Structure 1
Amino acid sequence: MKYLLVREDEDGHDEFWGRCAGVEGMFVDKVPRPREVLTLRGCDPEGVLRTALTPDGQSTALLGDVCVEVRDEEQPLQWWSLLDCVVIAHRPNREDPALVDVVVGACVEEGDDWSSTQQTAPRFKLFASLPGRPLGPAGQCRAVDGLFVTRDVPAPTPLTLIGCEPAEPLLAVLRRPRKWDRDWVGLWAVDRTGRVMYRHVVSLRIETAVPSVLGGALVDIELTDGGDDRPPQLARPVWETWWRGVPATRNQWAPLSTEARSEWLDLTAVGISGQGPDRSGGVHFLDGTNVTDAPGLHCAMGEALAGPGGYYGREWNAFKDCLHGGFGVTAPFTLVWHDADIARQALAQDIWDAEKGLTYFEEIVETLERFGVTVVLR
């Protein structure tokens, strides 16, 4: 059995709902959202947005992902995301020439509405995040033309539990005249040793429940919607490796693409609670042979400090959290980074700290040293 069904009861305890041999629809590539044209009206830009509007600026018009915070005078009310946002044009605002109207192209992702009341004069704060960089302020504007429109909702992608052996709570759901429920249940993927390697949440809206193609007393259960944030198709071979158990040798992630390496890092994060108490001192060796991108850097860092398949952050913020302790290794210690020039060159264009002019590689090294780690680059 590769999957467990688990639901949290009223007391916060995990309750076993069943298990199944496989899942069809676990790996799904997201349907690209249509691109739209919006106008950020009456902008007072800062950060990457200001740089993008400077004619002689070294930055391009790429803004990355932009968060639009809709707020009243006191608090935020909504968040919207403008994904892969680019500046198309800009011009002075007619009402106030000191401000600017910015025309952008982006994929719009609707955020959660935190307020039940519609504001007559909302305010808009902007935050932008270029690839590989943290979210930062990008200014504010008076209105966003094209934001509050009706958009088609993509049809849900179903998910089928194959060879399911339901426990009594799930059997009770299946016995109901209408064979579906609006409750949520955890779908846990386990490796051959029984270790939980991934946790996903799905809605128990059941379309069909039929005798399983695997025979016996098993059933195949089709759920209307398999939920958001399912792993993409390229994650399937990564999972096949981890289903055999936590990797026992280093660099199994090395042949993977940048995107697949990120999926590898997601699986390392599941086992962080089992890395034991913090220890300091000693010398750790980082094999930099395959550190050709940021995910590869974190794969190699995790293996250097926590062993094959180990976790020590999957991006910069998580990496910094690990240095504060609680993840098995804490400073002071020595990190010997072999073939460091491979990462230095591969990440030379990835400017992380624009003010200091530091690349992602340099920022990682500086952060280690600031926390008391002796870094030896070879």
Structure 2
Amino acid sequence: MIPTVHEDRADDSHARYTLTDAEDGHVWGVCASADGLFGEPRRGTYELFGWVPEVADPRGWVGSRVWLVPDDEACDPWLLEDAESLGRLPGTDSLVLTGLDDYEGPPEGHRASVRVHDGHRWLGSCREFSRILPDAGARPPLVLRGLAQSDRLRAALTKGTRRALNLEQAALEIHDDQGERLTERLFWSQVRSWRASSDGAGLIDLELDGETITPVPAYVRSVWELWLAGPPDTLGAWAGLDTRRREVWLDLVRERAFRRPRPDRPAGHAYELDGRHTTDEPGLYLALGEAVNGPGGYFGGCLAALDDCLSGTFGYTAPATLLWRDAATAQGHLSKALTADGEPRNLFAEVLEVLAEGGMHVTLA
């Protein structure tokens, strides 16, 4: 008997991966393993000529949001996300930075001086920069192994035309061991090939074109693995993570919050925040989320989102009180931040202001 996935999803609740049509939610198939999901996304690479550091030369991961601020005020700052430094280019006075630059990224080059900061401190300056063309090597395919296919996918494979094998925009849902959706990845899906799978009779290994799929960065895997057994049941399970991985954790709690809304507590509730680990911005929002909604809880990931959460439907009703323990940790790490254009900002004070405006009376301890 050929395994079949039904459109009502009744048979896919405990599959690790579910491939769906992003437009109508139809399930193309479910499987237990996927090859090619993790990798290195294509990154913009920039040579910063005449690099003059203001701190020690950055090496390795620099920050989630690194800004290039031109001295010419007629231009807005440019953003590199998830930026890494490859260090000095041998035999030159240049520093090489890489990052994700699809949206607000720098232009191909800029022939005037630019200062660089990571949202907290100035890293240095350069006299000009230029984008280095990346290696356009082929991306490996995404292979869904042991896939139980739906009737609709089986019909498309049987037809076999290029149009039939174009599955349009698809969502690959990743589920935890209890069958709850952990996260998903969207991409344009083109079937390259398929073959009978060694994982069971009637199952197939489905190969999708990797050129339209952005791989999940390898560092994300370790955080996802912490969640695959289920959501955290203790406070501060994220505390030992670095900033980069805390942001992955924050993404997961944000996604879960919008799928599983919590009932608002009555007004007058007293909350308590453990501030020992609020050494960076994601840590601040993770601690705040747990203070309001318990382990794995969400209560904003930026000032605008925090303001939305204070308006209701995220476990809170104004007015209420918050005892912020070890507040000096956040105050010491987040009071001296920088805006995109490099102006000083006090993120700690801004968070307190938003909380106060939302009816949360905060006591610092």
For normalisation by structure 2, the TM-score amounts to 0.70
Partners in 1 of 2:246 and 2:276 — Cα distance? 15
Counterparts of residues 183-262 of structure 1 (less than 5 Å): 183-225=168-210, 227=212, 230-262=215-247
Instruction: Classify the secondary structure of the residue corresponding to 2:155.
Output: helix
- Structure 2's unaligned 5+ residue stretches are 1-14, 50-61, 71-77, 85-94, 105-114, 121-127
Q: Mean alpha-carbon deviation: is it higher for 215-224 or for 257-266?
A: 215-224
In structure 2, the partner of 1:44 is none
Preserved CA contact (<8 Å) 1:238 1:264: yes
Q: Mean alpha-carbon deviation: is it higher for 345-354 or for 265-274?
A: 345-354
In structure 2, the partner of 1:325 is 312
Partners in 2 of 1:31 and 1:151 — Cα distance? 8
In structure 1, the partner of 2:262 is 276
Instruction: Classify the secondary structure of the residue corresponding to 1:336.
Output: strand
Q: Mean alpha-carbon deviation: is it higher for 261-270 or for 328-337?
A: 328-337
Preserved CA contact (<8 Å) 2:39 2:215: yes
Superposed CA deviations along residues 205-252 of structure 1, whole A, max 9, x for unmatched, are: 122212224233221112112755543211112111211112111111
Structure 1 position 67, deviation (Å): 10
Partners in 1 of 2:303 and 2:137 — Cα distance? 32
- For 1:332, give the aligned amino acid: P
- For 1:166, give the aligned amino acid: Q
Structure 1 position 373, deviation (Å): 0.9
In structure 2, the partner of 1:19 is 30
Q: Does 1:170 align with 2:181?
A: no
Preserved CA contact (<8 Å) 1:352 1:359: no
Preserved CA contact (<8 Å) 1:262 1:314: no
Q: Per the alignment, do residues 254 and 328 of structure 1 end up closer, same or farther by CA in structure 2, a change over 3 Å counting?
A: same
- For 2:185, give the aligned amino acid: H
Equivalences, count: 308
In structure 2, the partner of 1:137 is none
Partners in 1 of 2:340 and 2:349 — Cα distance? 9
Q: Does 1:158 align with 2:174?
A: no
Structure 1 position 2, deviation (Å): 0.3
Q: Per the alignment, do residues 105 and 237 of structure 1 end up closer, same or farther by CA in structure 2, a change over 3 Å counting?
A: closer
Preserved CA contact (<8 Å) 2:37 2:142: yes
In structure 2, the partner of 1:50 is none
Structure 1 position 314, deviation (Å): 2.1
Q: Alignment partner for residue 347 of structure 1, among 334, 344, 347? A: 334
Q: Per the alignment, do residues 132 and 278 of structure 1 end up closer, same or farther by CA in structure 2, a change over 3 Å counting?
A: farther
Structure 1 position 152, deviation (Å): 6.7
Preserved CA contact (<8 Å) 2:269 2:320: yes
In structure 2, the partner of 1:34 is 45
Q: What value does the CA root-mean-square deviation take over the aligned residues?
A: 4.1
Partners in 2 of 1:25 and 1:276 — Cα distance? 35
Q: Per the alignment, do residues 150 and 29 of structure 1 end up closer, same or farther by CA in structure 2, a change over 3 Å counting?
A: closer
Partners in 2 of 1:107 and 1:241 — Cα distance? 28
Preserved CA contact (<8 Å) 2:331 2:348: yes
Partners in 1 of 2:344 and 2:80 — Cα distance? 27
Q: Mean alpha-carbon deviation: is it higher for 252-261 or for 354-363?
A: 354-363
Superposed CA deviations along residues 135-170 of structure 1, whole A, max 9, x for unmatched, are: xxxxxxxxx9989x9987563342111221111111
- For 2:315, give the aligned amino acid: G
For normalisation by structure 1, the TM-score amounts to 0.68
Partners in 2 of 1:260 and 1:250 — Cα distance? 17
- For 2:361, give the aligned amino acid: T
Q: Mean alpha-carbon deviation: is it higher for 319-328 or for 351-360?
A: 351-360
Preserved CA contact (<8 Å) 2:46 2:130: no
Counterparts of residues 367-378 of structure 1 (less than 5 Å): 367-378=354-365
**Which structure has more RCO (C-alpha within 8 Å, separation ≥ 6)?**
2
Q: Per the alignment, do residues 16 and 177 of structure 1 end up closer, same or farther by CA in structure 2, a change over 3 Å counting?
A: closer
Preserved CA contact (<8 Å) 2:47 2:129: no
Superposed CA deviations along residues 4-63 of structure 1, whole A, max 9, x for unmatched, are: 122155xxx42122111022222223243221579xxxxxxxxxxxxxxxxxxxxxxx99
Q: Per the alignment, do residues 82 and 186 of structure 1 end up closer, same or farther by CA in structure 2, a change over 3 Å counting?
A: closer
Q: Per the alignment, do residues 230 and 334 of structure 1 end up closer, same or farther by CA in structure 2, a change over 3 Å counting?
A: farther
Structure 1 position 82, deviation (Å): 6.4
Q: Per the alignment, do residues 230 and 372 of structure 1 end up closer, same or farther by CA in structure 2, a change over 3 Å counting?
A: farther
Preserved CA contact (<8 Å) 2:22 2:169: no
Superposed CA deviations along residues 150-196 of structure 1, whole A, max 9, x for unmatched, are: 98756334211122111111112222334731512111111122221
